[in-house]
């Protein structure tokens, strides 16, 4: 695994309707979500214009019965999955899927941080570098945002567990700071942010996908059955962003270059 420990290396949509998810995200983001892979699990690969960035997992009846719901989740690449899981649990996090191996893919586990936010940890089997996160790559995740009940505690946890560092902040009034974060792959450049969950927000990691033009993307969200929750908004650096939800109510964001808001 050539990515630095604590880097985002994969993104996964858990959905009750993979075909509907394909129709929505292919139209909105410009992906090509592939067919169901062989095996018992309904799993499909997400292809951006220049390569794979994640997967779509269909909710099984057993998963739903055990409380699983549609959501986007991120994968942190780690040097040692078992050691990282131990670190997470010692810090007050929980294990949802104990570490297991997928031949030819890698070793992974699903956990949650001490504030209850879920994510995966993974040691990939491939020697290829993941480019699922790419700040300016069309169709890639270009921003990783954590809303959490306790921003200071979350920042301390991710710093200790994944070498994620705070690299500046933007004051958000009563909600505290919008704290920018960097990891070992980003050379000090922010890859996302952490902030306290606002009253109308939902705790969890949310991911922003880059598209060529924001107004056209807004139209596609609405046409495909999604909802624009906020925006378009211009953000520092000149990009335009929206916050939206897909037809199942799963939250995500879109980002586009300047001068088209």
As given in the structure block, the two tokens for residue 212 are: 């060529």
Query: Is residue 98 helix, strand or coil?
Result: strand
Strands 192-196 and 141-148: parallel
Give the predicted TM-score (pTM) of the model: 0.95
Identify the structural domains of the chain with CATH numbers, from first to last: 7-124 (3.10.180.10), 141-256 (3.10.180.10)
> Could you read off the pLDDT tens digit of each residue along the chain, which spans 261 residues?
689 999 999 999 999 999 999 999 999 999 999 999 887 789 999 999 999 999 999 988 787 777 779 999 999 999 999 999 999 999 999 999 999 999 989 999 999 999 999 999 999 988 889 999 999 999 999 999 999 999 999 999 999 999 999 999 999 888 789 999 999 888 889 999 999 998 888 899 999 999 999 999 999 999 999 999 998 999 988 899 999 999 999 999 999 997 654
CA atoms within a 13 Å half-sphere pointing along the CA-CB vector of 75: 24
As given in the structure block, the two tokens for residue 28 are: 């909105």
């Amino acid at each position: 695994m050539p990515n630095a420990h604590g880097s985002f290396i994969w993104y996964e949509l858990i959905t009750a309707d993979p075909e509907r998810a394909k129709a929505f995200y292919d139209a909105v983001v410009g992906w090509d979500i592939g067919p169901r892979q062989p095996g018992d699990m309904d799993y499909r690969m997400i292809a951006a214009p220049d390569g794979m960035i994640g997967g779509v997992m269909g909710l099984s009846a057993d998963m739903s019965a055990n409380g699983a719901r549609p959501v986007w989740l991120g994968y942190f690449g780690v040097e040692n999955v078992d050691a990282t899981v131990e670190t997470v649990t010692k810090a007050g996090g929980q294990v949802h899927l104990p570490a297991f191996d997928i031949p030819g893919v890698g070793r992974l586990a699903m956990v949650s941080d001490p504030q209850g936010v879920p994510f995966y940890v993974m040691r990939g089997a491939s020697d290829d570098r993941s480019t699922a996160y790419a700040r300016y790559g069309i169709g890639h995740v270009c921003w990783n945002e954590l809303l959490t009940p306790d921003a200071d505690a979350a920042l301390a946890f991710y710093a200790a567990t994944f070498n994620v560092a705070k690299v500046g902040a933007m004051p958000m009034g009563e909600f505290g700071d919008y704290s920018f974060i960097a990891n070992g792959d980003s050379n000090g450049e922010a890859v996302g942010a952490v902030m306290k969950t606002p009253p109308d927000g939902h705790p969890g990691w949310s991911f922003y996908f880059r598209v060529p033009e924001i107004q056209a993307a807004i139209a596609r969200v609405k046409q495909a059955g999604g909802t624009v929750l906020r925006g378009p908004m211009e953000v520092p650096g000149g990009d335009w962003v929206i916050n939206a939800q897909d037809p199942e109510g799963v939250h995500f964001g879109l980002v586009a270059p300047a001068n088209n808001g």
